Amino acid sequence: MTKEYKTITEISGPLIFVEKTEPVGYMELVEIRTGGELKRGQVLDSSDEIVVIQVFEGTGGLSKDTAVSFTGDVIKMPLSPGIVGRVLSGSGKPRDGGPEIVPEVLRDIAGAAINPASREKPRAFIQTGISTIDGTNTLVRGQKLPIFSGAGLPHNDLALQIARQAKALGEAEPFAVIFCAMGITNEEAQHFLADFERTGALERAVVFLNLADDPAVERILTPRLGLTTAEYLAFDLDMHVLIIYTDMTNYCESLRQMGAAREEVPGRRGYPGYMYTDLACQYERAGIIKGKKGSITQFPILTMPGDDITHPIPDLSGYITEGQILISRELHRKGIYPPVDIRPSLSRLMNSGIGKGHTREDHRAVSDQLYAYYAEGNDLRGLAAIVGKEALSERDKLVLEFADKFEKRFVNQGRDEDRSIFDTLQIGWELLADLPEAMLTRIDDKYIKQYHPKYAGTAKAAQAPAK
């Protein structure tokens, strides 16, 4: 019943231009048939004279005779509870040899904005078992916390460890992991899948794979499909969803490629001016809605080109996400895993997820104190390199030693080591105990009396409840 047009006037990169059509809606789904193959596209610009379409599966094989038909509807994702456990392509087609998803519902993949007044404040502590996250950059449910990394750093191992270990303290609740791969290598994808299979995580995961050799335009679709699935699982099926996408840098490259093909006025470093809004439309689909049981927590991974945090991709991401975990090449070289540099790392929602009733009342103070001396110790390293360690004052020597011990004992941990938050705080206290008590200026005296190892014998009651 839909009309087919054979009026393509121009094909340019991933775009096709079609003229003399009926009125076509902006963002409408387009079907393009060529030699028995069906490609899909989306309307980017619609006017009386000409319609601009981006083709997701690439324009290879298209010619001026190719038939184009407009579906009259925007792109929708078929969803049903059976989607959990499936491996799909970057455009949502089965990739595991299984059948197509039989839809219970169809959802617009663009996704509407959550009404800020309907959002619930995220404050449920998630224990990842990693000290540098739990102790100093705490994650809460509904947060979006990206990992900023560089080429060749173990960000994938960290993401996998988080996916494996993440849990809320207390009750067991239904949860799912969504994994969106965008432009990663086949090898990396295998690594993820093998780990999911090893730990049995695949049974409660949905995997979207757009590999490095899949069409770049398809990448624009992948996170949207993943997030639409996440919203369905979280807000229709009451699950707690953790969504990991890697690598956002490849996604942004695709955006730039599309922008260039459309001859748009470029913003910084050639990325389109609307990249902030576009990224926000992905990242902002995290959160919790009042009165709904589920939640969406996001872990985007992005590799900073040239380890440059001021590059537009990490920069714009940092302005949208609620903090960042920064992977440091320097720590990695020292053989420390996970090589998280806590100084530029941050969790903006930390305060609502820690303290009494969440973790422990001394958490904030301990974390601040650790931060302060680790940062100072790091500055002193530079000084010690110039004047020699001996020229430092006694106090400075203590701080310098503290920074070294902090990296070895607090930051460093095993790839399978799942530390409870109380273990993490205990390590923190042991490190602080090596400093004179008068130097603990950021900690209230009452917490010192209660948790300082020096007084530990007198305050048994304060010990953490058993897990």
Partner 1 sequence: MEVGKIKRVAGPLVQATGLKAAMYDLVLVGEEGLMSEVIGISGNKHIIQVYEDTGGVRPGEPVRETGAPLVAQLGPGILTQIYDGIQRPLPKLAEASGDFISRGLFVDGIDHKKKWEFKAVVKKGDVVKPGQSIGEVQEQLLIKHKIMVPPNQKGGTIKEIYSGNFTVEETIAVLEDGTKLTMMHKWPVRRARPVTKKLAPTIPLRTGQRVIDGFFSLAKGGTAAIPGGFGTGKTVMQQTLSKWADVDIVVYVGCGERGNEMADLLHEFPELQDPRTGRPLMERSIVYANTSNMPVAAREASVYTGMTTSEYYRDMGYDVLMTADSTSRWAEAMREMGSRLEEMPGEEGYPAYLGARLADFYERAGRAEVLNGGQGSVSIVGAVSPPGGDFTEPVTQNTLRMVKVFWALDSKLTQRRHFPSINWLDSYSLYDLDLEAWFVENVSPDWNKNKRRAMSILQENAELEEIVMLVGSDALPEDQQVTLEVARMIINFWLAQSAFHPVDTFSPYKKQFDLLASILKYRDYAFEAVQKGISVAQITSVPSKDALAKVRLEAEYEPILAKVLAQMDVEFKALK
Contacting partner 1 within 250-279 (CB under 8 A): 264-268, 273-274, 276-277
Check if the beta carbon of residue 240 is closer than 8 Å to that of residue 121. no
Q: Is the peptide bond before 247 cis (omega within 30 degrees of 0)?
A: yes
Binding track, positions 375-414, relative to partner 1; x by CB under 8 A: xx-----xx--xx---xxx--x------------------
CB of 287 to partner 1, least distance (A): 6
CB of 425 to partner 1, least distance (A): 17
Exposure string (b/e) for 173-198, b if CB count within 10 Å is 16 or more?
Answer: eebbbbbbbbbbeeebbeebbebbee
Binds partner 1 by CB under 8 A, chosen from 11, 17, 19, 25: 25
Asked if 312 is part of the footprint of partner 1 (rule: CB under 8 A), the reply reads yes
- Locus of tokens 């369905």: 232
CB of 333 to partner 1, least distance (A): 20
Check if the beta carbon of residue 124 is closer than 8 Å to that of residue 170. no
Asked if 361 is part of the footprint of partner 1 (rule: CB under 8 A), the reply reads no
Measured from the CB atom, the residue of 135 and 183 that comes closer to partner 1 is 135
DSSP one-letter code for 348: T
Measured from the CB atom, the residue of 247 and 322 that comes closer to partner 1 is 322
Binds partner 1 by CB under 8 A, chosen from 3, 198, 290, 467: 290
Q: Which amino acid is at 253?
A: E
Measured from the CB atom, the residue of 7 and 420 that comes closer to partner 1 is 7
Residue 265 neighbours by CB under 8 Å, 6+ apart: 273
Q: Which amino acid is at 28?
A: E
Taking contact as CB under 8 A, which single stretch among the options 23-31, 145-153, 190-198, 242-250 is the one that binds partner 1?
23-31
Binds partner 1 by CB under 8 A, chosen from 143, 149, 359, 413: 143
DSSP 269-293: GG-BTTHHHHHHHHHTT-BEETT-S
Check if the beta carbon of residue 208 is closer than 8 Å to that of residue 86. no
DSSP 147-193: EEE-TTSTHHHHHHHHHHH-EESSS---EEEEEEEEEE-HHHHHHHH
Q: Segment 423-442, which members bind partner 1 (CB under 8 A)?
A: 438, 441-442
Helix or strand holding residue 82 (H, E): none
Taking contact as CB under 8 A, which single stretch among the options 53-61, 139-147, 240-248, 414-422 is the one that binds partner 1?
139-147
Q: Segment 69-128, which members bind partner 1 (CB under 8 A)?
A: 73-74, 108, 110-122
Check if the beta carbon of residue 403 is closer than 8 Å to that of residue 373. yes
Q: Segment 315-334, which members bind partner 1 (CB under 8 A)?
A: 315-316, 318-320, 322-324
Return the structure tokens found at 245: 């996408």
- Locus of tokens 């941990």: 413
Asked if 305 is part of the footprint of partner 1 (rule: CB under 8 A), the reply reads no
CB of 116 to partner 1, least distance (A): 4
DSSP one-letter code for 266: B
Return the structure tokens found at 112: 């509407």
Total binding residues toward partner 1, as defined by CB under 8 A: 88
Binding track, positions 180-199, relative to partner 1; x by CB under 8 A: --------------------
Asked if 371 is part of the footprint of partner 1 (rule: CB under 8 A), the reply reads yes
